[in-house]
Amino acid sequence: MMSKIKTTLNMLFVFVACVISLFPYLIIIVASFNNTVNIRKGDIMTNISFNNLRANFLSLTSDVQFYVSLKNTLIVTLFSVILGVLLSSLAGYAFVVFKNKLMEKMFKISFLSIMIPSSVIIIPLFMILRSLNILDSLFSIIITSLSLPFLVYLFRQNTKLFPMELIKAARIDGVSEIGIFFRVYIPNMIPAFVTASVILFIDAWNGFLYPLVIIQSQKNMTLALYINSIGKSYTTDYGSFMLTLLFSTLPIILLFVFAQKYFRKGMQVL
């Protein structure tokens, strides 16, 4: 009896926490089915209709700036994932496979860089980019926000579990070092690669501080900056704003739900 009550209370606690986690999503979804007047009145439960949703969708998709920022976010995300995964996996692999004293030192420097917070380096970074004349470009967002120190560490930890015999066997078969990396290592390390891609995807898609400082013109805006620019204005169309919030968060949620099994495997070794 006692234990049954305990199990129920335990489950209830977790359930309430889950509802709180989902709470903003629930409100945003319901609010997307309302018009601005009702949202401002706080009366979102009694006026749910597909007509409102359609109107909000039309209003959102009629804004050219929405497409521009969506396109920019996709570009930044795609190239961040490709470049970040490639560079960090190469380094993480090398720090284990080609290990010696110098490599250990290089790894230590790379590892300690995890401790350097982005708000600490944002000003000098801004000035360096300005003097290189590459401010206000998607390229600058991509190369500055790859979280390489953390990902190199992630790949190094995962590589430690990689069977060295496979590499030795491939060398005897005459496969080049680069060939071993691409044809032996990558196919056997899918969880680590999925994990790193998910992390880079989320960081690039949600990134705010770096784009805010780096981007100055409308044509280079990312989704986060677009949301910020609508949210700041006093004449916000709340119906379509809620839909924008939904559009900007849902891809990440879906990606994570599909990739979470690999994700946990990849993070386990940390």
Which positions from 129 through 158 interact with other proteins, judged by CB under 8 A?
143-144, 146, 148-149, 152
- Which of 27, 29, 68, 75 forms a contact with other proteins (CB under 8 A)? 27
Binding mask 101-120 for other proteins (x = CB under 8 A): --x--x--xx--x-xxxxxx
Of the ranges 63-71, 88-96, 157-165, 186-194, which one interacts with other proteins (CB under 8 A)? 88-96
Interface size with other proteins, residues (CB under 8 A)? 82
7 makes contact with other proteins (CB under 8 A): yes
- Which of 8, 18, 161, 219 forms a contact with other proteins (CB under 8 A)? 18
Q: Which residue has the tokens 């290089």?
A: 106
28 makes contact with other proteins (CB under 8 A): yes
The DSSP annotation for the chain comes to -HHHHHHHHHHHHHHHHHHHHHHHHHHHHHHHTS-HHHHHHT--SS---HHHHHHHHHHHHT-HHHHHHHHHHHHHHHHHHHHHHHHHHHHHHHHHHT--HHHHHHHHHHHHGGGS-HHHHHHHHHHHHHHTT--S-HHHHHHH---HHHHHHHHHHHHTTS-HHHHHHHHHTT--HHHHIIIIIHHH-HHHHHHHHHHHHHHHHH--HHHHHH--SGGG--HHHHHHHHHHSTT--HHHHHHHHHHHHHHHHHHHHHHHHHHHHHHHT-
Whole-number minimum distance, CB 64 to other proteins, in Å?
20
Of the ranges 53-61, 62-70, 184-192, 249-257, which one interacts with other proteins (CB under 8 A)? 249-257
52 makes contact with other proteins (CB under 8 A): no
Nearer to other proteins by Cβ, of 54 and 168: the residue is 168
Nearer to other proteins by Cβ, of 8 and 188: the residue is 8
Number of Cβ within a 10 Å radius of residue 132: 9
- Which of 55, 68, 70, 125 forms a contact with other proteins (CB under 8 A)? 125
60 makes contact with other proteins (CB under 8 A): no
Which positions from 198 through 217 interact with other proteins, judged by CB under 8 A?
202, 205-206, 208-209, 213
82 makes contact with other proteins (CB under 8 A): no
Name the residue type at position 167: I
224 makes contact with other proteins (CB under 8 A): yes
46 makes contact with other proteins (CB under 8 A): no
